Structure 1
Amino acid sequence: MDILALVGSPREAGNCDTLVNRVLEGSGAAGASIEKVMIADLNIYPCRGCMECRPTGKCDLEDDLKLLLDKIEHADALVVAAPIYGNHLPGQFKVLFDRLVGVMHRTDNSVPGKLTSYSRLQKKSRQLLLLAVAGAPREESCEQALSFLRRVFLPETNGGEIHELRAIGLSAKGQVGMNKEELTELVAKLTVSEPEEYLGRMLARNKCYLDGAYQLGREITRQ
């Protein structure tokens, strides 16, 4: 089984990257072939709005889009991770999707008032795992991004299950992977009334997210 992870964060070793690595550890331990793509490392031009891709599924811009599309088509499971910027995706990730939807989907608007998207890719069941990572301590901060990603990738699942992980309250780079000593230093910089209790909650939360990511990595491999 081939697992492809798309990391929408521009920061290596950040919270998105750390959680995706944990997912892939779980998938790898379950016997899957794994690959991770950092979107910030790709050369993706912004969409020009020419609409040529709509009837043909082809884009004339020469960059890394076709390479990525081939990887998505080949994958048996997709892991898509996004940091939350202003309650939505970061700009560089949205640039990718502006380009991707026209070559990955065809649309049917023959029924008045209804638009249906169909995948142009090889029709096979694909598992989908969506990760949203927010600095804010509110799960609702993740909802717009997750809703968008569900709509984008639903046609590619072909009946495969969709899993989601919301990781909130992670405002420092790589916080989810910090050990007790590192978190203690972080808490010392904050204004909290009960630092020991706060530290305990942070440690428990990190473990919950990391364990959850690992188990989801195994879960998408078993499907």
Structure 2
Amino acid sequence: MLIAGFVGSPRRGGNTEILVRKVLEGAASQGAETAIYFLNELTIHGCQACNFCKEHAGCRQEDDMTLLYEVLKRADGFVLGSPIYMDYLTAQTKLFLDRLFAFFGPNLECTLPRGKRAVLVYSQGGGNNPEVMESLARFLREALHVEVVGIVGGSGCNVPGAVRERKDLLSRAFELGKSLVE
């Protein structure tokens, strides 16, 4: 079983990465193979709305998203993490999500293999806006037929590493990672 982690933060070692790694640790504790990808370090271009993917299997663009398509097809589950910046997901996360359009066929039917499970992770400095991730969860469920087993995150996480003091979030992330495998 493979559980993939996607980190949408531009900050290496930050709170989002810590929580994503904790989810992956929980999955690994149940015997899953894990892999982590840092969206900020990959070359992912914006969707060109060319509809090439509606007539062919895949996207016309040859960038690092090609690798991530294969990872998503092969993975049994995934964790997607993003800080909340300016009351929304990061640009890196949004690029990744927009490019998932390639998983919709000619009649907009989902071509991503079914049965996948996901955990969503967020960190936020000020405010508290879990609605962003709840909206993303709805999209994953309704459009991609992914079972979202949970969302973990919180505010007060502006300082890198601050989430290490949040035992509640770390514990929840670990348990959600386990539930991806169960």
Same fold (TM over 0.5): yes
Distance, in Å, in 1 between the alignment partners of 2:104 and 2:161 is 35
The 1:39–1:154 alpha-carbon spacing in structure 2 relative to 1, beyond 3 Å, is farther
2:160 corresponds to:
173
8 Å CA contact 2:149–2:179 kept in 1: the answer is no
Root-mean-square deviation (CA, aligned residues, Å) is 2.0
1:68 corresponds to:
68
Number of residue pairs the alignment of both structures matches: 182
Q: Which one-letter code corresponds to 1:164 in the other structure?
A: I
Distance, in Å, in 2 between the alignment partners of 1:142 and 1:107 is 33
Q: Which one-letter code corresponds to 2:123 in the other structure?
A: V
Give the CA deviation at 1:155.
Answer: 4.1
2:167 corresponds to:
207
1:98 corresponds to:
98
The 1:107–1:155 alpha-carbon spacing in structure 2 relative to 1, beyond 3 Å, is farther
Q: Mapping of 1:49-198 within 5 angstroms? A: 49-101=49-101, 103-106=102-105, 108=107, 117-123=108-114, 125-138=115-128, 141-152=129-140, 154-157=142-145, 160-177=147-164
The 1:17–1:82 alpha-carbon spacing in structure 2 relative to 1, beyond 3 Å, is same
**TM-score, normalisation: structure 1:** 0.74
2:9 corresponds to:
9
Structure 2 regions of 5+ residues with no counterpart? Answer: none
Distance, in Å, in 1 between the alignment partners of 2:66 and 2:105 is 16
Distance, in Å, in 1 between the alignment partners of 2:132 and 2:148 is 20
The 1:136–1:107 alpha-carbon spacing in structure 2 relative to 1, beyond 3 Å, is farther
Give the CA deviation at 1:58.
Answer: 2.8
SS at match of 2:130: helix
Q: Which one-letter code corresponds to 2:10 in the other structure?
A: P
**TM-score, normalisation: structure 2:** 0.89
SS at match of 1:73: helix
Distance, in Å, in 2 between the alignment partners of 1:106 and 1:136 is 39
SS at match of 1:79: strand
Which is higher, the Rg of structure 1 or of structure 2?
Answer: 1
Structure 1 regions of 5+ residues with no counterpart? Answer: 109-116, 178-202
8 Å CA contact 2:84–2:124 kept in 1: the answer is yes
The 1:60–1:81 alpha-carbon spacing in structure 2 relative to 1, beyond 3 Å, is same
Distance, in Å, in 1 between the alignment partners of 2:66 and 2:5 is 16
Give the CA deviation at 1:23.
Answer: 1.1
SS at match of 1:106: coil
Q: Which one-letter code corresponds to 1:209 in the other structure?
A: L
SS at match of 2:34: strand
Q: Which one-letter code corresponds to 1:14 in the other structure?
A: G
More helix by share: 1
Q: Which one-letter code corresponds to 2:35 in the other structure?
A: E
Give the CA deviation at 1:154.
Answer: 4.3
Distance, in Å, in 2 between the alignment partners of 1:163 and 1:44 is 26
The 1:80–1:154 alpha-carbon spacing in structure 2 relative to 1, beyond 3 Å, is farther
